[in-house]
């Protein structure tokens, strides 16, 4: 039996409607709508698509988005000044600085400058540390979105073997922390991992975030496994594809996410949840 699809389109819309209801109740109670500052430096086409999706879903969720579109030659000092201004602004609940930043700007420095209470990406070392210590506050959107998808399978993760392929600061590492928090047994693989196929063959849950099209082979997938594909790769023909061989993996998996229409949409929906949560914490 081929895998069931974990449909990011449907599930992300459910989440956004939930946030919408929470926002409406808050506004009916006399508070202003939550507000998200979206900072984009330069005009990377992929970033423009993602930022466009974020602004559109803010509108659907009843969240005010405040765009700061800056030229590619913005200085680090100017970006620092903007973040400090947004930190101090009581009308702003969430700050998102779209990555990647131009090479002349130190991204780590900018992320560390964002007020952790407004860090709706969950990238600040404070928020990653909270997640590592089993006291999460604002959780990174992509891994939290993946956990929402995993919940929808109805499969209990406690004691399951999970393999995360990729160990970046925004995907693999926080994903491993999320799965550990859910009490799975977690293996994190990266470019120096030996015999990746063997690791994946053992996994009840596979999360791939590598950035190489069709990198995870369908024949590696254990029968009945859950396969979550975080990868977003644009092929020469203009089409998007994930990091997993979708068709072949579907023959073995019980559940699988498509690309597009999977994790990417969940990232944006989770950003809406985080922005609402930040607003409530800042102004109960």
Dist CA 257 CA 146 (whole Å): 10
The stretch near ligand NDP (CB under 6 A) out of 21-29, 55-63, 169-177, 198-206 is: 169-177
Q: Which does 38 bind (CB under 5 to 8 A by kind): Mg ion, ligand NDP, ligand GUE, none?
A: none
Site string for ligand NDP, 222-261 (x = CB under 6 A): --------xxxx----------------------------
152 is catalytic: no
Q: Which does 191 bind (CB under 5 to 8 A by kind): Mg ion, ligand NDP, ligand GUE, none?
A: ligand NDP
Catalytic residue among 115, 119, 121, 243: 121
Query: Is 5 known as a binding-site position?
Result: no
Listed in sequence order, the residues at least 6 apart from 250 whose beta carbon sits closer than 8 Å to its beta carbon are: 2, 3, 218, 256
Listed in sequence order, the residues at least 6 apart from 108 whose beta carbon sits closer than 8 Å to its beta carbon are: none
192 is catalytic: no
Question: Tokens representing 234?
Answer: 């644009």
**In this chain, which of 122, 143, 209, 258 binds ligand NDP, going by CB under 6 A?**
209
Give the residue with the Cβ less far from ligand NDP, 39 or 92.
39
Listed in sequence order, the DSSP H helices in 158-260 are 172-181, 196-201, 246-252
Q: What's 9's DSSP letter?
A: H
Give the residue with the Cβ less far from ligand GUE, 166 or 222.
166
98 is catalytic: yes
Site string for Mg ion, 79-118 (x = CB under 5 A): ----------------------------x-----------
Contact 39, 97 (CB under 8 A): yes
Q: Does 270 bind ligand GUE (CB under 6 A)?
A: no
* Parallel/antiparallel/unpaired status of strands 255-256 and 240-241: unpaired
- Residues 168, 171, 174, 176, CA torsion sign: negative
Counting Cα atoms < 13 Å in the Cβ hemisphere of 60 gives 18
Positions annotated as catalytic residues are: 54, 98, 121
Annotated binding site for NADP(+): 166-168, 232
């Amino acid at each position: 039996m081929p895998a069931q699809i974990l449909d990011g389109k449907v599930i992300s819309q459910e989440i956004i409607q939930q946030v919408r209801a929470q926002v409406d109740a808050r506004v009916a109670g006399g508070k202003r709508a939550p507000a998200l500052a979206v900072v984009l430096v330069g005009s990377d086409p992929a970033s423009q698509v993602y930022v466009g999706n974020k602004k559109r879903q803010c509108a659907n969720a009843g969240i005010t988005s405040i765009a700061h579109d800056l030229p590619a030659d913005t200085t680090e000092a100017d970006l620092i000044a903007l973040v400090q201004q947004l930190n101090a602004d009581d009308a702003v609940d969430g700050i998102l600085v779209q990555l990647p930043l131009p090479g002349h700007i130190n991204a780590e420095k900018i992320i560390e400058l964002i007020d952790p209470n407004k860090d709706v990406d969950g990238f600040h070392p404070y928020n990653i540390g909270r997640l590592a210590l089993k006291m999460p506050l604002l959780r990174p959107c992509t891994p939290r979105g993946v956990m929402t998808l995993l919940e929808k399978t109805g499969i209990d993760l406690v004691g399951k073997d999970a393999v995360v392929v990729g160990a970046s600061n925004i995907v693999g590492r926080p994903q491993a922390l999320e799965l550990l928090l859910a009490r799975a047994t977690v293996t994190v693989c990266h470019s120096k991992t030996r015999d990746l196929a063997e690791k994946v063959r053992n996994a009840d849950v596979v999360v791939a975030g590598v950035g190489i099209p069709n990198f995870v082979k369908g024949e590696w997938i254990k029968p009945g496994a859950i396969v979550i594909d975080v990868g977003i790769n644009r092929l020469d023909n203009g089409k998007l594809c994930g990091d997993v061989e979708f068709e072949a993996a579907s023959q073995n998996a019980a559940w699988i996410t498509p690309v597009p229409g999977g994790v990417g949409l969940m990232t944006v929906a989770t950003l809406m949840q985080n922005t609402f949560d930040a607003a409530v914490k800042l102004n109960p």
